[in-house]
Amino acid sequence: MSRLIDMDLEQLTEMLVRMGEMAHKTVSLSLMSYIQGRGSLGEVQELSDTLILMADEVESKAFEIIARFQPVASDLRILKSYMKISYDFTRYGRYALDISQIHSMLGGARECENWIIRVIKEMSERTLSMVNASVKSLKSHDAEMAKTLSETENQVDALYSKYLDRLVEKAPATNKCTISSVLATRYLERIADHATYIGESVVYLSTGERVTLR
């Protein structure tokens, strides 16, 4: 038997899923533009700003539900997780914007050596897969899918560390590519971290289990 609160929780879920899909679009656009050397700063800025507004709407809706329905513990767990996830989605947008700003100031990956481009592409692919998986696990409240984010996050961390070590060995001098690529890979590593934070929240809202996926 459905409860009065259930319809509002479903609406909140739909709001958050739309936000997640927009966050994925924002990160994807920023990364593809950086790799391909085309400008998209204005569009990424607009998407990032929209994500912040959407997070405010999610938070307002969550507090409205609390005020109207006095939710039980399991509902409060969902609401708390949703507000945290909405923040993590805004961080996706913020780091995507950082990458686009770096591209605008220093240039993208096209001016870098081929081995650097390969590393950035691989990190981008793995990070985007994490963003996608975080949104999918949220849609279905799939705790097991959320837990798989940990393995990919470890791979992204390893690529980042290996890249920095190799850059120290191979980079002939500090130049625009060096600065730009170090910052871009750092932002990718942070996006991957936030994907695991979302995974932790999905596990918690689905099962009540508190896990660390990093």
Q: What is the pLDDT of residues 120-160, one digit of tens each?
A: 999 999 999 999 999 999 999 999 999 999 999 999 999 99
Using only C-alpha atoms, the chain has a radius of gyration, in whole angstroms, of 19
Q: What is the pLDDT of residues 16-65, one digit of tens each?
A: 999 999 999 999 999 999 999 888 999 999 999 999 999 999 999 999 99
Q: Report the distance separating Cα 70 and Cα 48, nearest Å.
A: 33
CA 195, 201, 204, 210 dihedral sign is positive
CA distances from 79 to 46, 62, 74 (A): 27, 6, 9
In the chain, the amino acid numbered 64 is: E
State both tokens at 75: 């509902």
In the chain the domains, ranked by start, together with CATH numbers, are 4-207 (1.20.58.220)
CB neighbour list of residue 167: distance below 8 Å, 6 or more residues apart: 116, 178, 181, 182
pLDDT tens-digit series, residues 90-131 = 999 999 999 999 999 998 888 888 899 999 999 999 999 999
pTM: 0.94
Joined tokens for residue 209:
């289990």
